[in-house]
Amino acid sequence: MILADTDILSALAKIERLDDLFVLLNASEICVAPGVVVELQQSLALGRDFAQPVFSLIQRGRIRIVQLAAKDASFRDTLPGTLGTGERESIALAKSSGGVVLSNESRVAAHCRAHGIVCLRLPDILRAFWTEGILSKAEVQQAILDLRSKDRMEFKPSTLHAILAE
């Protein structure tokens, strides 16, 4: 099971690269926790239209909402409250399913590592877009520029080097 959290979905939606994520992952569907949906609904209610493509993918069955079992909820509640609800639920669902979490939060990645869960971060995804031939290197460079302007995202020089290194 591939579980995306809010930040990955919103970042890729803002730069119109959600479809590329499905291609990269060779996935017919990506899953989200209920907390992710709530966070995206809040964004939409605030007039942030980037969330609309995510809801279109939910309606089309490409993004599936996965409910937490009691054991998932129990584990979620052991995770720190400094993580968002969607993040904690995504980690819990990935732990019980042996799934992968897609997140751009270093805190999420750290908790995933601590619990033996694979976490792919945005730099990993951007690098894979071009190394796997989904996008050209120039298109990934443009995606980075778009993330800077549309999502106010900053990249450390070392991160940019890791994404674009031959």
Annotate the chain with three-state secondary structure.
CEEECHHHHHHHHHCCCHHHHHHHHCCCCEEECHHHHHHHHHHHHCCCHHHHHHHHHHHCCCEEECCCCHHHHHHHCCCCCCCCHHHHHHHHHHHHHCCEEECCCHHHHHHHHHCCCEEECHHHHHHHHHHCCCCCHHHHHHHHHHHHHHCCCCCCHHHHHHHHCC
In tens, the pLDDT along 96-125 reads: 999 999 999 999 999 999 999 999 999 999
Number of domains, the chain: 2
In tens, the pLDDT along 124-143 reads: 999 999 999 999 999 999 99
Same-domain check for residues 9 and 72: yes
Q: Given pLDDT bands bounded at 50, 70 and 90, which one contains residue 84? A: very high
Same-domain check for residues 83 and 139: no
Confidence check: pLDDT of 48 > 90: no
CATH of the domain at 72: 3.40.50.1010
